[in-house]
Structure formats: structure tokens, C-alpha cells
Amino acid sequence: MGKPRLFGADYSVYVRIARLALLEKGVDHDLVPVDVFSEEGLPTWYLDFHPFGRIPAFEHGDFRLFETSAICRYIDEAFAGTALQPSDVRQRARMTQVIGLLDAYAYRTLVWDIYVERVSNPKKGKPTDESKVAAALGKAATCLETLSRLKPGGAWLCGERLTLADLHAAPIFAYFMRTEEGQVLLNEHPDLASWWAKIAARPSFAATEPKD
């Protein structure tokens, strides 16, 4: 079977999550550029890979997947290397819960409602929607409080070992930490602050830094 292919762009939180999983497992792969925000729109062939036109999509031999959680679990289980999911049933359920929380509550709030409004829009000459940021702050605080409350001892979000939950959270936090609101909220949670320092220092994290 040839190298797996991941379709997407480096700016995408979800593409970065899958790239982190590939790099942490040491899987040789190709990143096929697909820009969901390009002016020309998506190439029509891409809808065969992802009928909803989101990134990433993934292909390994004749096997195709979309949805980042499914892609990451496949990468972890189909390739050799250190396991990125706990073998203990309850720890694995906790990891799945944290990933669900990140998808359902943290991604939109921390990235779109706060980072995009505070940093991306002004860079493009668009004004910040202050009411959107203000409305998001309470949910952002709940996200961090809950991640901190669910976190057992140990360096990582689910304990002593790096898991898919850390890789899911890192690209979301990478954008959130570029905002003052993100810095302030993180400082209220020393356990998350030391987690953030640790994940941000991984070679996989540096290797997947968006170009701009």
C-alpha cells in the first residue's frame, strides 16, 4: 500500500490535528493541498473525498475517510508506534469525552468567536464584533474550567501519556493563545498552562505551524 494522503491546508485546525497524529506516529504521508476558502471554490473532485466540502479528508490505499476523529483513530490503530489511545476503558471514554467537548463547544467559541474576531478580522481590515467576543467569553471559561476539572494528574489532558485528546486540543489552543483573552483565561488554570507549554514544545507542533 502507498503512503497515506491527507487533503487540506495548514491553517486548518482539523487538518493540523490529523497531521499531528501522523507525525506523532511517525507515518510517512503526503499533504495534498485543498483550500476550502479559495476564491475559486473547492475543486469538484474533492467532493468525492468529502461530500460536505470540509477539510481534512484522508486516503490510505483504497480506504477513504473524512471526520478528523475517525482519521486519527485509524492512524493510531493502523500504524506501528506508540499508542495514542489509553487501553483502559474509562480513560479511553474520558479521552473521547474531551475530544467531543472540544468539537462541540471549544472549536467554534475559542477559534471563530474569539480568535477570528480578535486577530484574523482586524488583519483583513474587518472590525471585531465585540458582542460576539463578549458572548463567547463565558463559554470559553467553561471550556477551560471543564478541561481542567476532567484532567487527572500527569502532564497530559488524560493523564501520564500523550493521547489523541492532546492532539485535538493543541491546534485550537494555538489560535486561542494568540488572543489576550486566551492568555488571561489560561493563566487561571496552572495545570492547563503547563500542559500548553508542554504540547507547544513538541517537534510535531513546530512542524505543523501554519505559514501565516
Ligand X SMILES: N[C@@H](CCC(=O)N[C@@H](CS)C(=O)NCC(=O)O)C(=O)O
Helix (H) or strand (E) holding 30: strand 30-33
Neighbours of 119 (CB within 10 A): 16
Q: Which of 22, 55, 75, 199 binds ligand X (CB under 6 A)?
A: 55
Least distance to ligand X, CB of residue 187, Å: 26
Q: Give CA separation, 144 vs 42, 93, 113, 128, 184, in Å.
A: 34, 19, 15, 23, 11
- Enumerate residues 3-42 that contact ligand X by CB under 6 A: 12-14, 36
In this chain, which residue has its C-beta nearest to ligand X? 54
Helix (H) or strand (E) holding 57: strand 57-60
Least distance to ligand X, CB of residue 45, Å: 16
If you ran DSSP here, which 8-state letter would residue 32 be given? E
CA nearest to 26, candidates 69, 65, 83, 64:
83
> Residue count at the site for ligand X (CB under 6 A)?
8
Determine, following the binding rule CB under 6 A, whether residue 196 of this chain makes contact with ligand X: no
How far apart are the C-alpha atoms of 80 and 190, rounded to whole Å? 34
Neighbours of 187 (CB within 10 A): 10
Closer residue to ligand X in complex, CB, 55/136: 55
How far apart are the C-alpha atoms of 35 and 182, rounded to whole Å? 27
Closer residue to ligand X in complex, CB, 14/156: 14
- Enumerate residues 68-87 that contact ligand X by CB under 6 A: 68
Query: Site mask, ligand X, residues 158-187, x = CB under 6 A?
Result: ------------------------------
CA nearest to 116, candidates 54, 200, 176, 185:
176
How far apart are the C-alpha atoms of 197 and 69, rounded to whole Å? 24
Least distance to ligand X, CB of residue 7, Å: 10
Closer residue to ligand X in complex, CB, 55/192: 55
Least distance to ligand X, CB of residue 55, Å: 4
Q: Which of 29, 54, 94, 189 binds ligand X (CB under 6 A)?
A: 54
Closer residue to ligand X in complex, CB, 108/202: 108
Residues contributing to the site for ligand X (CB under 6 A):
12-14, 36, 54-55, 67-68
